[in-house]
Amino acid sequence: MDVRSQVAMVFHLDKCIGCHTCSIACKNIWTDRKGTDYMWWNNVETKPGTGFPTAWEDQEKYRGGWELKNGELQLKSTSKAQTVFNIFHNPHMPTMDDYYEPWTYDYQELFNAPPGDDQPVAKPISMVTGELIQIKSGPNWDDDLGGSPIYAANDPNLKGLSPEAQQQLFAVEELVMFYLPRICNHCLNPSCVASCPSGALYKRGEDGIVLVDQNRCRGWRACVSACPYKKVFYNWSSGKSEKCILCYPRLETGQAPACFHSCVGRIRYLGVVLYDASRIEEVSKLPEDQLVEAQRSLILDPNDPEVIAAARLNGIHDSVIESAQRSPVYQFVKVWKIALPPHIEYRTMPMLFYVPPMAPVLSQREGQHLTNVSEDLFHDIDEARIPMKFLANLFGAGVEDGVRYALRKQKAVRWYRRAITVGDVTMETAERMLREANCTPDEAEAIYRLTALCTFEERFVIPPMHREEAIEMMRDPQEHKQETGFGFLHGQRRAM
């Protein structure tokens, strides 16, 4: 057992309202510089939809992530030898056209326009060339366009759905959509790190945050191709790759990342999980249908004395172990099993988990009467407007069981709380539902508490990052403390 600690995340999709506050918070802090203008380290997509960059989930086009070749894990984008030849021209790399050309407006025009009969107009200007542009697409062009034949119909997750099920998604009366906020997953087996020819990408040992060493990056772009989630971006001005840093400067001072902190729907949870690094390779090679459960088995019980001893042996601080014991992520993923990894079939072992969203039922109206109560209390989980197979393609490598389990438990908790607060459902029925959903009243209360009433401290259990230990590497921490804030910083200047 090789115990490591990882700052992991849960996004509760049933609570996401698609307001993009997270994206704006991130953009304002990290990516409003030249060359990063087109990047959205955090973005919110409408599903079904094509996302950002367009159709990022289509790995036949972008060739991100890992694949099994003769029982061995290999990057789908390139073999190790091929990498050298791809340095000059990367064959599967998305270009700016796959994202969008960033633009601003010529606001001066509003003030400087000569008097006339018409309102002056601020014309759109490319932030790359400075020339007037015709805006043809943007970062969120398919926002709320569930049911669109251009966007929703091209969602790669529709593959494997029967024609009827697909039809159902586009009938006007049955239109449905949900939101998928995305940041870097800070994977356990990151393909971006593995692909980097110069070794610039790395995982921080203490918290698992994946970073790009800007001084070491040579702009060879292998990571952009290799990341199946397309969350490594190429800074077209500085000539370096950049990505979500999970706001580590904020985490190091005990604050939640900006997108977490600003989340209006309070859908985001963050906490440490302890995992067994010695089993990552073995687990990454398993057949697709076993991956979700196998990844969960990597996460260790932070209350198990054996795990604690092994963690201490590996130099994990007691304060971090204690933090792992209070981790909301551990509850959602490991104990309740209602949070699932996105596209585990890419085999990168993402450390951001999603609670799948509930959806309205397919309405079956008979005259004036709507019947949705049947002997099988969970029938509407399978008859929800979002086809189970679609969610399974996103959160279960195509296997429906894990998604169904998560949705049944969520529904059982709802009915249980309804029995308590509204009273139109008998407690007997609610308890039967809990039993059938493999849940107890205590667990239901805990899920309810962390879903509906969660405070800041419950959602974000940020471990002490022990920054003083990092500073010790370079200098006397006392001296550093005295001098912090003095000196000169050099910005990213494009090379000659």
Angle at CA of residue 253, ends 247 and 254, nearest 5° = 85
Is 130 an interacting residue with respect to other proteins (CB under 8 A)? yes
Which is nearer to other proteins, 109 or 472 (by Cβ)? 472
Is 8 an interacting residue with respect to other proteins (CB under 8 A)? no
A 10 A CB-CB count for 290 gives 14
Q: Are 364 and 372 in contact (CB under 8 A)?
A: yes
What residue spans of 31-138 are helical by DSSP H? 59-62, 80-86, 108-112
Of 47-55, 191-199, 244-252, 416-424, the window that binds other proteins (rule: CB under 8 A) is 191-199
Q: Write out the two tokens for 365.
A: 């109206």
Of 55-63, 113-121, 234-242, 398-406, the window that binds other proteins (rule: CB under 8 A) is 234-242
Query: Per-residue contact track with other proteins, 266 to 305, x per CB under 8 A?
Result: -----------xx-xx------------------------
Q: Are 182 and 13 in contact (CB under 8 A)?
A: no
**Rounded Cα gap, residues 89 and 87, in angstroms:** 6
Site for other proteins in 430-449 (CB under 8 A): none
DSSP 267-287: -EEEEEEEEEGGGHHHHHTS-
Q: Among residues 63, 203, 404, 409, which is the contact residue for other proteins, using CB under 8 A?
A: 203
Is 41 an interacting residue with respect to other proteins (CB under 8 A)? no
Is 120 an interacting residue with respect to other proteins (CB under 8 A)? no
Q: Are 450 and 328 in contact (CB under 8 A)?
A: yes
Is 95 an interacting residue with respect to other proteins (CB under 8 A)? yes
Is 215 an interacting residue with respect to other proteins (CB under 8 A)? yes
**Rounded Cα gap, residues 148 and 478, in angstroms:** 59
Q: Among residues 33, 61, 204, 480, which is the contact residue for other proteins, using CB under 8 A?
A: 204
Q: How far is the CB of 470 from other proteins (least distance, A)?
A: 5
Q: Among residues 175, 194, 286, 358, which is the contact residue for other proteins, using CB under 8 A?
A: 194
Q: Among residues 7, 93, 397, 433, which is the contact residue for other proteins, using CB under 8 A?
A: 93
Is 128 an interacting residue with respect to other proteins (CB under 8 A)? yes
**Nearest one of 389, 384, 342 to 160, comparing CA atoms:** 389
Of 86-94, 159-167, 299-307, 318-326, the window that binds other proteins (rule: CB under 8 A) is 86-94
End-to-end Cα, the chain, rounded Å: 49
**Nearest one of 75, 128, 162, 158 to 390, comparing CA atoms:** 158
Is 104 an interacting residue with respect to other proteins (CB under 8 A)? no
Greatest CA span in the chain, whole angstroms?
Answer: 79
**Rounded Cα gap, residues 63 and 461, in angstroms:** 35
CA dihedral sign of residues 161, 162, 163, 168: negative
Which is nearer to other proteins, 306 or 472 (by Cβ)? 472
Q: How far is the CB of 161 from other proteins (least distance, A)?
A: 32
**Rounded Cα gap, residues 246 and 224, in angstroms:** 18
**Rounded Cα gap, residues 36 and 235, in angstroms:** 5
**Nearest one of 331, 334, 342, 326 to 448, comparing CA atoms:** 331
**Rounded Cα gap, residues 3 and 37, in angstroms:** 39
Q: How far is the CB of 281 from other proteins (least distance, A)?
A: 5
Q: How far is the CB of 291 from other proteins (least distance, A)?
A: 16
Which is nearer to other proteins, 109 or 468 (by Cβ)? 468
CA 255 to chain CA mean position, Å: 19
Who contacts 254 (Cβ-Cβ below 8 Å, separation ≥6)? 462, 464
Q: How far is the CB of 449 from other proteins (least distance, A)?
A: 35
Is 89 an interacting residue with respect to other proteins (CB under 8 A)? yes
Which is nearer to other proteins, 76 or 389 (by Cβ)? 76
**Phi, psi for residue 150 in degrees, rounded to 5:** -90, -45
Which is nearer to other proteins, 435 or 494 (by Cβ)? 494
Is 494 an interacting residue with respect to other proteins (CB under 8 A)? yes
Which is nearer to other proteins, 66 or 390 (by Cβ)? 66
Is 136 an interacting residue with respect to other proteins (CB under 8 A)? no
Count, residues near other proteins per rule CB under 8 A: 63
CA 399 to chain CA mean position, Å: 20
**Rounded Cα gap, residues 297 and 338, in angstroms:** 14
Which is nearer to other proteins, 84 or 150 (by Cβ)? 84
Is 370 an interacting residue with respect to other proteins (CB under 8 A)? no
Is 420 an interacting residue with respect to other proteins (CB under 8 A)? no
Query: Per-residue contact track with other proteins, 450 to 479, x per CB under 8 A?
Result: ----------------x--xx-xx------
Q: Among residues 197, 398, 441, 464, which is the contact residue for other proteins, using CB under 8 A?
A: 197
Is 361 an interacting residue with respect to other proteins (CB under 8 A)? no
Q: How far is the CB of 35 from other proteins (least distance, A)?
A: 9
Tally of CA atoms within 13 A in the half-sphere of 27 that contains its CB: 13
Q: Among residues 17, 69, 79, 80, which is the contact residue for other proteins, using CB under 8 A?
A: 80
Residues that bind other proteins (CB under 8 A): 2, 4, 73, 80, 83-84, 87-90, 93, 95-97, 101, 128-131, 189-190, 193-194, 196-199, 201-206, 214-221, 224, 234, 236-240, 277-278, 280-281, 466, 469-470, 472-473, 490, 492-496
